[in-house]
Amino acid sequence: MSAISPFVAIRRDLHQIPELGFQEFKTQQYLLRYIQSLPQERLQVRTWKTGIFVKVNGTSPQKTIGYRADMDGLPIREETGLPYRSEHEGCMHACGHDVHMSIALGVLTHFAHHPLKDDLLFVFQPAEEGPGGAKPMMESDIMQEWRPDMIVALHIAPEYPVGTIATKEGLLFANTSELFIDLKGKGGHAAFPHLANDMVVAACTLVVQLQSIVARNVDPLDSAVITIGKIAGGTVQNVIAEHARLEGTIRTLSPAAMEAVKRRIEAIVRGIEVAYECEAAIDYGAMYYQVYNDPALTAEFMRFAEAHPGMNVIRCKEAMTGEDFGYMLAEIPGLMFWLGVDSPHGLHHAKLTPNEEAIDRAIAFLIDYFSWKGNAE
C-alpha cells in the first residue's frame, strides 16, 4: 500500500469529525493545532466564532490576496464504508469541505515557508451549509481590518475528472433562499369536515399554486426554481389536521427575480389564509446571494489555468446551486471555480467519495497561481 500525502491524511482526519454550522469546535482546534506547527514569523492568526483568519505577511506588500475555505459538514448519515468515515453519527462531510480545508492548509504551508511579496489572507469560514457564515464574517472587525483586494475560492465537482477546472465570468451560482410555510387552522373529526379547516388540503392547494409562479410570474428569459421538498401535517388518519408545514427552497438567476418570487409567494399565501380561513407564517431561513465572478480576474485566471501543465479548463454554465461565498464576492473582486474530483456520487450524497488525487494537484496549482499574482511587479 503506497503512502498518502500529508494533506490527504489531513483530509481523512477532518472527514472523521464533521460538524454543523457554528458548531465546528473540533474542526477549529484541529486547524489551529496544525497552523501553530508552521513557522510563525510572518503569520498572524485570529479566530472568529468557530472560524479562523490567517494572514501571511508579505515581504513588500502592495495588496492582499484572499483565499476562502469552508469548514462545516451536513446532517447526513455517511454510507461510504470508508475506514476513515465520520465518527459523528448523522453528520458527514458530504459537500467536500474537508477537501477544501486540506487544500487551503497545503497552500498556507507553502507560503508560511516561502512568503510572497504581497500579503495573503486565508479565511476558514464556518456555517456555509447554514445558517450562513460568509455574511457575518464579512462584517467582522477582523475582515474589515484585513480586507483583501481580491479573493478566490473553489468547490469540488464530482462530475468532472481530476485535473479539471471549470468556471466562467459573471454569474456562476444562483441566488438561493430557504422557504418554510406554516399553516394553522381548526382540526376536528374526520367524519365532520364541515366543522374544521383542513390544513392538509390547504397545503396541497398551496403547493400546486406555488408552481404557477415560475410558469406565470417569472420572465421566461430569466430562471427560477421553487421546490417543496417536505410536507408535514396531521397526527392520525381519522383526524382533520389543524397544522401543516411546507419546507422548500427558492433559486433564481437574478436578485430581481428572487424579490419577485417572494412577493408572489406572499400574495398566494394571503389568498390561502382567506380561502381556508387559517393563519399562515412564512420564514425564508438562510438566504444566499449569487456568486458573481469578476469578469476580468476570471478571464485572467482561466488563461493562467489553461497554460498550467496537466490542467483542463472548461467554461461551464451557471448553476442553480447556492454558495454564501457570493456575499464576499459582492464586496470584493474575485472568483470561484469548480475542481474536478471524479466521484460517482454527487454533492450532498451519503456515498460521496472524492478522488483524493485532486488535493495535491489543486495545492500545486494554487501555489503557482498565487505566486504569480502575489509576486507581480
Q: Label residue 2 by pLDDT band (50, 70, 90).
A: low
Query: Could you give the percent of the chain with pLDDT greater than 90?
Result: 97
- Cβ 21 vs Cβ 127: under 8 Å: yes
Express each pLDDT in 259-315 by its tens digit.
999 999 999 999 999 999 999 999 999 889 999 999 999 999 999 999 999 899 999
User: Which of 179, 112, 131, 158 shows the shortest CA–CA distance to 23?
Assistant: 131
Q: What are phi and psi of 189, to 5 degrees?
A: -75, 140
Q: Name which of 2-6, 113-117, 135-139, 354-358 the model is least confident about.
A: 2-6
Give 221's pLDDT tier (boundaries 50, 70, 90): confident
Which residues on adjacent β-strands are paired with residue 122? 54, 67
**Residues composing the chain:** 377
Helices 6-15 and 97-113: angle between axes, nearest 10 degrees: 140
Which residues of the chain form beta strands (DSSP E)? 43-48, 51-56, 64-70, 119-125, 150-157, 164-167, 170-173, 175-184, 188-189, 224-233, 239-240, 243-252, 279-283, 287-288, 291-293, 312-315, 334-340
Active site residue 222: no
CB–CB of 264/213 below 8 Å? yes
- pLDDT surpasses 90 at 3: no
Answer left, alpha or beta for residue 310, where phi above 0 means left and psi between -120 and 50 means alpha.
left
How far is 200 from 190, CA to CA, in rounded Å?
Answer: 12
No. of helices (H) and no. of strands (E), the chain:
10, 17
**pLDDT tens digit string along 196-219?**
999 999 999 999 999 999 999 998
pLDDT in tens, 29-56: 999 999 999 999 999 999 999 999 999 9
Catalytic status, residue 129: yes
- Which residue has cell 431561513? 285
pLDDT digit string (tens) for 147-188?
Answer: 999 999 999 999 999 999 999 999 999 999 999 999 999 999
Residue 192: predicted pLDDT: 97
pTM, to two decimals: 0.93
Q: In the structure grid, which three cell numbers stand for residue 3, read together?
A: 503512502
Cα–Cα distance measured from residue 113 to residue 100, given in angstroms and rounded to the nearest whole number: 21
Ordered DSSP codes for 274-326: HHHT-EEEEE--SEE--EEE-HHHHHHHHHHHHTSTT-EEEEPPPBS---TTH
Residue 316 pLDDT > 70, yes or no?
yes
203: nearest Cα among 276, 282, 284, 283: 276
**Of 19, 98, 119, 129, which residue is the catalytic one?**
129
Residue 376 pLDDT level (bands cut at 50, 70, 90): confident
Question: Choosing from 24, 70, 72, 128, which is the catalytic residue?
Answer: 70
Q: Which amino acid makes up residue 16?
A: Q
Asked whether the predicted pLDDT for residue 119 surpasses 90, the reply is yes
